[in-house]
């Protein structure tokens, strides 16, 4: 056997053995798809080639591992073969999957009406997080976000009492001051409080106030910055997603998996 052919055989064997072992994900086919998807509140499915690879696949499986502790959310892979036995081409037809793989869809109670991941958005761990955050009631926190503070954001945005809003800001500032210096979220408290204060003192809708701030920071990020400053600004944008997830989604692409 020529050396080049032997290398190809070994490569195909490696791919065959590893393609379906993505940690955090479940492999589905035509016979198991409905049975499994119906058992979970939410299932994020990536329809792809039979042997997926590359940045988009790694982003999907990475987020799957990060959210593996959530029992209400399943990450699944459907490999489609357009040759040989044409595995899962029936699912491809059923859900009208275009040939531009990968295609991501979110399934919930109505299995025949999934929510499509926007085709104009790049598939990344961050964009998938935002997609889940916008379309589920699960807590899918971005880097820098704190669940208890996101819960306070919900209360803040739904309150019509300015005194209550100020009380929430005071509470967050107190928590921030009490946080240990080694707490990775210590600066997050300051950002939550600062955004709330900006909203409280503005006559504009909160979504406009926050979006304006996102746009301002996005422009700064286009310039030359130190790594630490860039990281800090990206975390701020992540936190602002919490203020916008109940209204208009953030349009900036600068949120980041840090």
pLDDT per residue as tens digits for the range 114-166: 999 999 999 999 899 889 988 998 988 788 899 999 999 999 999 999 999 99
Pick the more confident residue, 12 or 83.
83
Domains defined for the chain, CATH in brackets = 3-135 (3.40.30.10), 147-244 (1.20.1150.12)
Give dist(CA 242, CA 93) in Å, integer: 36
Structure tokens at 43: 């299932």
Q: Which whole number is the average pLDDT over 176-180?
A: 94
Task: Grade residue 91 by pLDDT with cuts at 50, 70 and 90.
Answer: very high
| Burial (0-12, 13-18, 19+ Cβ within 10 Å), 172 | buried
Task: Grade residue 26 by pLDDT with cuts at 50, 70 and 90.
Answer: very high
pLDDT in tens, 203-247: 999 999 999 999 999 999 999 999 999 999 999 999 998 898 765
Give dist(CA 248, CA 232) in Å, integer: 23
* Total-model pTM: 0.64
Q: Which whole number is the average pLDDT over 45-67?
A: 93
């Amino acid at each position: 056997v020529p050396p080049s052919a032997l290398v190809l055989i070994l490569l195909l064997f490696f791919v065959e053995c590893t393609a379906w072992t993505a940690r955090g994900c479940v492999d589905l086919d035509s016979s198991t798809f409905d049975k499994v998807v119906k058992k979970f509140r939410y299932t994020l499915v990536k329809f792809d080639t039979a042997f997926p690879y590359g940045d988009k696949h790694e982003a999907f499986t990475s987020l799957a591992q990060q959210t593996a502790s959530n029992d209400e959310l399943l990450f699944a892979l459907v490999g489609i073969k357009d040759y040989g036995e044409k595995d899962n081409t029936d699912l491809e037809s059923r859900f009208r999957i275009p040939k531009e793989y990968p295609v991501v869809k979110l399934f919930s109670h109505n299995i025949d009406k999934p929510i499509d991941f926007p085709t104009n958005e790049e598939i990344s761990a961050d964009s998938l997080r935002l997609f889940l955050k916008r379309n589920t009631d699960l807590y899918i926190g971005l880097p820098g976000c704190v669940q208890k503070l996101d819960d306070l954001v919900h209360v803040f945005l739904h309150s019509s009492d300015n005194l209550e809003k100020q009380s929430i800001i005071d509470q967050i500032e107190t928590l921030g001051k009490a946080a240990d210096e080694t707490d990775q979220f210590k600066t997050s408290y300051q950002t939550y409080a600062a955004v709330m204060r900006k909203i409280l003192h503005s006559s504009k809708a909160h979504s406009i106030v926050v979006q304006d701030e996102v746009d301002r920071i996005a422009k700064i990020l286009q310039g030359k910055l130190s790594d630490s400053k860039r990281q800090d600004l990206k975390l701020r944008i992540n936190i602002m997603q919490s203020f916008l997830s109940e209204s208009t989604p953030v349009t900036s692409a600068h949120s980041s998996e840090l």
